[in-house]
Structure 1
């Protein structure tokens, strides 16, 4: 179940629409060829002219362009993929690739340059959100596309090659790469035939999914924007040579050293981890930006509500990313029911209360609750160690109702141990 739901999320991330409009038709072709930028101007013009399906295409153009830009920046500065599948996918490398730069001759990185990379990413996600919101306002369109055919130029060489499709990048992950068909057996199963039938990997994107993507942009932008509201140069100097090992960071030449406990490499790595923890005290350098992160977080449940409003109004059933109780789920043995929707809406209610400061976050050390809204609007620093251990949380403690298992009772009852999968899926 978990792999299937994550596959849906990954497929949605790199989706590309096929539209009835001229701009949409050309966009689909260029997405499959990896020539996305060539369709940008005409797609945006069609969106500005009031074609909401073109606005969906424009949103996807911004989203994929932003993801591509981040991947190219990471490649430019020689980011490593230390055994992490998500990072390996982002850089277009195999999951089993050793922790070495994909780029053998990276450019030199500075703290300021890294901040620029992250700021560009956040700005791109916001631009995509605006286009998706315009696409969600109206329009009866279904964009049936195969997300696994989309090509993205990850290394910035000007050509999106066959190995730079989502299908090629997900292939080493096996079942993770499979988008199921409701009338076919789950991945790894067969109907007893000698050869498995080809799996239909298309998804029918529509107006409801525009709201889904708008929410997605804020989910991924929020933690980056939270970091940018702080100064983190100490952490950069102490640890990020582990991510960019050949980009000229201060500790680059000391990834191995003397032996203290085990061996040169292990001891140096342990020392860097300790240094990273020691430097997790970030001063707030932009209080307005920090407060803006709270507004981003508040927009996520609001956009989810718009998503479900559109989903529940649908009358078709065309390979839905997120189905209504009347539609067919792409996830085997996991239909969406009225009970499922009600549990999700109750969860959104609780999340909104937490973000508004009406419901406090529990802290293991205190009887009082942690006011999340007060943190975002008043914090002068974020010391993760001190927040966790207690002293750093003191300014944000107050009396009031505290979120507990009962606050998420409906979600616990309906979703059970699969709740995280539903969070990925429903967004």
Structure 2
């Protein structure tokens, strides 16, 4: 029964039952039901812990999609924002609830909670734990309309297929011990972005711009576009820019910015754990991200130096996050820059004039070595025109 519960958790179970077809076991069960069953297991195996972490990760994405569906954030400014989860186009709700300005903050607050819950269980998986969880990516789906059944447009590949290489979309992956750290890193990345949004707190700006847009629409102006209307016109871009500038015109919440800082540092730490574990693997079984002696089941080519260069990129990012390397600023010469660690610790006012001139940033300016882009350029050169795709896969 435990194995069946694990399999129906939106991830297939480990090596002993790898021949079970995931689609037939999943049936019509929801991620919420699977999470409930997995959470109830008193002494879960490593496979079950990975499955629970994976389900919580997917459930967090699903809950965000469900909130968007409920209030009509299917297109328009939501997609144009470029923010994770919001930027994914999705089917429209024919009868949405009224949109409220705090919906975006609620969405990202839930993401922070769900991603932390996913990482908490994934980090219980240690080096000595043997994990083998097989997933056919085409079997993953989100109950966006909350009817309990898979509908057109609810599959992972329906929603993200345009951003994925066709080779990735049509494959089955056997996730292993190393991949627990990889998924934890992704959870912390999303949680960090969520905390940044919460630190800025865009609800008031969204409400003000929406109210003004509706008033102007009543006088023959362009229609508001959070509902998906008018997403291709200039008015929508101006609305979005105005929201961003109004939201940034203030001092971010320090508690949320500090939390974001911690999540971003954990992304680097989890990646180091992942690559250390990957380097020790001797099998070559439907790998997601391979070591030098393995191949990826996705069909993507990972050059032998992928791990080394990606860790170098992340090491540079970590040194920026800790203030060891400074960010360049146009008024400062070599040997001086912005200490990003202090920006996260005690955020400055984000008014545009103060940021462009530098008056808001003077307390964060230091003497010291500045960050460069050499490692990122080497990574991009190695991956050619697919550097962005590989960065998305690697996180």
Length-normalised TM-score, structure 1:
0.75
Is there any run of 5+ residues in structure 2 with no aligned partner, and where? 1-8, 223-229
Shift of 1:89: 8.4
Are residue 57 (structure 1) and residue 51 (structure 2) matched? yes
Partner of 1:124: 114
Shift of 1:55: 0.6
1:144 to 126, 134, 150: 134
SS in 2 for 1:80: coil
Are residue 214 (structure 1) and residue 184 (structure 2) matched? yes
Q: Is the 8 A contact 1:343 1:414 kept in 2?
A: no
Q: Is the 8 A contact 1:34 1:150 kept in 2?
A: no
Identify if the C-alpha distance between structure 1 residues 377 and 390 changes in structure 2 by more than 3 Å, giving closer, same or farther.
same
Question: What is the 5 A alignment of 1:40-51?
Answer: 40-46=35-41, 48-51=42-45
Shift of 1:59: 0.6
Q: Which digits, 9 at most, give the CA deviation of each residue in 1:155-211, with x for residues without a partner?
A: 22333335422244456x4x946235xxxxxxxxxxxxxxxxxx9511111111111
Are residue 357 (structure 1) and residue 320 (structure 2) matched? no
Are residue 343 (structure 1) and residue 309 (structure 2) matched? yes
Shift of 1:119: 1.1
Question: What is the 5 A alignment of 1:320-331?
Answer: 320-330=287-297
Shift of 1:133: 1.4
Are residue 286 (structure 1) and residue 253 (structure 2) matched? yes
Partner of 1:71: 65
Q: Which digits, 9 at most, give the CA deviation of each residue in 1:37-90, with x for residues without a partner?
A: 3332331233x5141110111011111111111111011111131376987984
Q: Please report the RMSD computed on the Cα atoms of aligned residues, expressed in angstroms.
A: 3.4
Partner of 1:17: 12
Q: Is the 8 A contact 2:245 2:352 kept in 1?
A: no
Q: Distance in 2 between matches of 1:30 and 1:252?
A: 48
SS in 1 for 2:190: helix
Q: Distance in 1 between matches of 2:158 and 2:235?
A: 35
SS in 1 for 2:350: strand
1:178 to 159, 166, 176: 166
SS in 1 for 2:239: helix
SS in 1 for 2:73: coil
Partner of 2:143: 153
Q: Distance in 2 between matches of 1:295 and 1:270?
A: 32
Length-normalised TM-score, structure 2:
0.81
Shift of 1:392: 2.8
Q: Distance in 2 between matches of 1:384 and 1:258?
A: 31
Stretch moving more, 213-222 or 377-386: 377-386
Shift of 1:399: 0.9
Is there any run of 5+ residues in structure 1 with no aligned partner, and where? 1-13, 94-101, 181-198, 242-248
Stretch moving more, 273-282 or 50-59: 273-282
Are residue 166 (structure 1) and residue 156 (structure 2) matched? yes
Are residue 134 (structure 1) and residue 124 (structure 2) matched? yes
Identify if the C-alpha distance between structure 1 residues 270 and 286 changes in structure 2 by more than 3 Å, giving closer, same or farther.
closer
Q: Distance in 2 between matches of 1:164 and 1:315?
A: 36
Shift of 1:226: 1.1
Q: Which digits, 9 at most, give the CA deviation of each residue in 1:302-346, with x for residues without a partner?
A: 000011111111111012110000101345572331x33222232
Q: Is the 8 A contact 2:174 2:287 kept in 1?
A: yes
Q: Distance in 2 between matches of 1:292 and 1:15?
A: 29
Shift of 1:267: 6.4
Q: Is the 8 A contact 1:151 1:162 kept in 2?
A: no
Q: Is the 8 A contact 1:229 1:289 kept in 2?
A: yes
1:383 to 351, 376, 379: 351
Partner of 1:189: none
SS in 2 for 1:229: helix
